[in-house]
Amino acid sequence: MFVIFGAAGPVGRASATALRRAGHPVRAVVRDRTQGAALAALGCDIAHADLNDAQALARAIDGAHAVQWLCPVPRAHDDPAAAMRATIDAGIAAFHKAPPPSLLALSDYGAEQPEGTGITTLFHYLETRLRGAASSLTFLRAAEHMHNWARVLPVALERGVLPSLHHPLDKLFPTVAARDVGELAAQLLLDGATQRPHATPRIVSVEAAQRVSALDVARTLQELSGRPVAAHAVPRNEWNAVLHGAGLGERHARLIVDLYDAHNAGRIDVEGVSERRFGATTLKDELAALLPRAAGVETRARSVE
């Protein structure tokens, strides 16, 4: 039995789908009962669990021979770092109560660094706490997800300006599609389920075959939409205001600011000891998939005005 946490999200859903297509039994763990229908249609067993309830998590992984764990950053929480650390601690308690033979944890580029990387420091905490929690342990570190651009696509389509916190605009950075992360995770789960126990975690990094810049994102969006789109580097002193305007609280905004400061200083990248894998999805593929929804958001926004 493969147990997938975060199965309703794009990464977990891709993992569950790949495993079910290969004929493997999957238990999909979701927080909201309404999220289970599509996964049940794939043939998944559905488990509901509060991610902060160690007992519920232990029940969800009972009998598993491999577990995929995703610990989400709680966007709406006043103190997302404290909330995520509490969720990580609950997961650790569950894994010690019902140790899975094989465990894959979804992590981030830069997770080897203990400080100064904003949100990524939470994945350092996750990796540090997880060591020793399973006989076979894999950290799958993903580059920045391409679908993060969905948040600003309606603005870019309406105003012709793509705001970016990546500075300078021509700086290349790694990205990856969520489905590529999920499908690779499924492959690694299958590997881990057949591997012998080992003392040190396996570290795998995944990104798309080509790195991109904010200029590349704007050019690709212009090509796909047929509308003029220019990349705009949001001035550093305006970042907090922009993030607050997007609905982020003070502490969450601070985590994002620190993350992009680290990105722009070249501190977020592949650790030399990791295995490198590359996803097949291109930036153009991902933006083409995101555009219809972004155009719909833009249309609805105009109708309200």
Q: Identify the structural domains of the chain with CATH numbers, from first to last.
A: 2-146+174-207 (3.40.50.720)
pLDDT per residue as tens digits for the range 23-60: 999 999 998 878 888 999 999 999 999 999 999 999 99
Residues 192, 125: contact at Cβ < 8 Å? no
Tell me the C-alpha to C-alpha distance, in Å, between residue 111 and each of 12, 123, 250: 20, 5, 23
Given pLDDT bands bounded at 50, 70 and 90, which one contains residue 197?
A: low
Q: pTM score, two decimals?
A: 0.93
Is residue 175's pLDDT more than 60? yes
Distance, CA of 241 to CA of 138 (rounded, Å): 38
pLDDT for res 300: 44
Mean pLDDT of the chain: 92
Given pLDDT bands bounded at 50, 70 and 90, which one contains residue 301?
A: very low
Q: 258: closest CA among 272, 241, 239?
A: 239
What average pLDDT does range 167-171 have in this prediction?
A: 98
What average pLDDT does range 116-122 have in this prediction?
A: 96
pLDDT > 70: percent of the chain: 94
Given pLDDT bands bounded at 50, 70 and 90, which one contains residue 133?
A: confident
Is residue 212's pLDDT more than 90? yes
pLDDT for res 35: 84
Helices (H), the chain: 10-21, 36-41, 54-61, 80-97, 120-130, 153-159, 178-194, 214-225, 239-245, 250-264, 283-304
Distance, CA of 184 to CA of 176 (rounded, Å): 11
What average pLDDT does range 239-265 have in this prediction?
A: 94
